[in-house]
Each structure stands twice: as structure tokens, then as C-alpha cells.
Amino acid sequence: GAVVSQHPSRVICKSGTSVKIECRSLDFQATTMFWYRQFPKQSLMLMATSNEGSKATYEQGVEKDKFLINHASLTLSTLTVTSAHPEDSSFYICSASGGGGTDTQYFGPGTRLTVL
């Protein structure tokens, strides 16, 4: 199956700093990448959808100036949490799809963000 990586797997930062999370599709070209947030023992909450070379589409209630998404190539998308606060602590998961309505989303292993 298709492989998606995320880096870092865990990050601890101080309140007010910015954190960048990378998502890479290793063996396929990802036309579309998705960023999710997951709280403990809960389902995934879609934050935004990004297509290569265009601006991300954010879900309602997600601050685009706080969660900056860049999808500069067909294999890399980044999520930057700007001026992070403790309430931003969460498990962030990306997924990648080769495109097309029937295509499968393949998920990265996730990034555990802890903001002190």
C-alpha cells in the first residue's frame, strides 16, 4: 500500500512558539492532502484540504491564520501551528490521496503536539 510519513512524531514546545509538521507521500504523487486533528478517544476532525499548488480549503471554525498549510509539491504538505497555546495540544494526522473521487486516503502516523 501507499506510504505516508509525518515528521516529527512528537514535539513539545513552549507557548507562543510556532511548530511545523511535515507530511510526505513516499511512493506516490498526492494531488490532495488532508489535515486532521484528533482528541483522545475521539474521531478525526478534518481541519483543511489542500491541493498541490493552490490555497488550502479550511473547514468551518478552523483559523487559517493560525494553522498555515502549504502544499508546494505533489509529495509534501506542511502544517504550521503559529503562536501555539496549550489548547492546541493534540494529535495531528495527515492523509494523502492521488486524486479522483474513488481514491483512497492514506494516512500518516500522526504527530503528537504538546504545548507547555
Which residues form the interface with other proteins (CB under 8 A)? 1, 4, 6, 32, 34, 41-44, 46, 49, 57, 91, 93, 95, 97, 99-110, 112
Is 45 or 82 the residue whose CB approaches other proteins more closely? 45
Is 5 or 82 the residue whose CB approaches other proteins more closely? 5
**Measured from the CB of residue 78, what is the shortest distance to other proteins in angstroms?**
17
Contacts of residues 35-43 at CB distance under 8 Å and 24 or more positions apart, as own/partner, are: 35/67, 35/69, 35/77, 35/79, 35/92, 35/93, 35/94, 36/92, 36/93, 36/94, 36/95, 37/90, 37/91, 37/92, 37/93, 38/90, 38/91, 38/92, 38/93, 38/110, 39/90, 39/91, 40/91
**Measured from the CB of residue 116, what is the shortest distance to other proteins in angstroms?**
19
**Measured from the CB of residue 71, what is the shortest distance to other proteins in angstroms?**
13
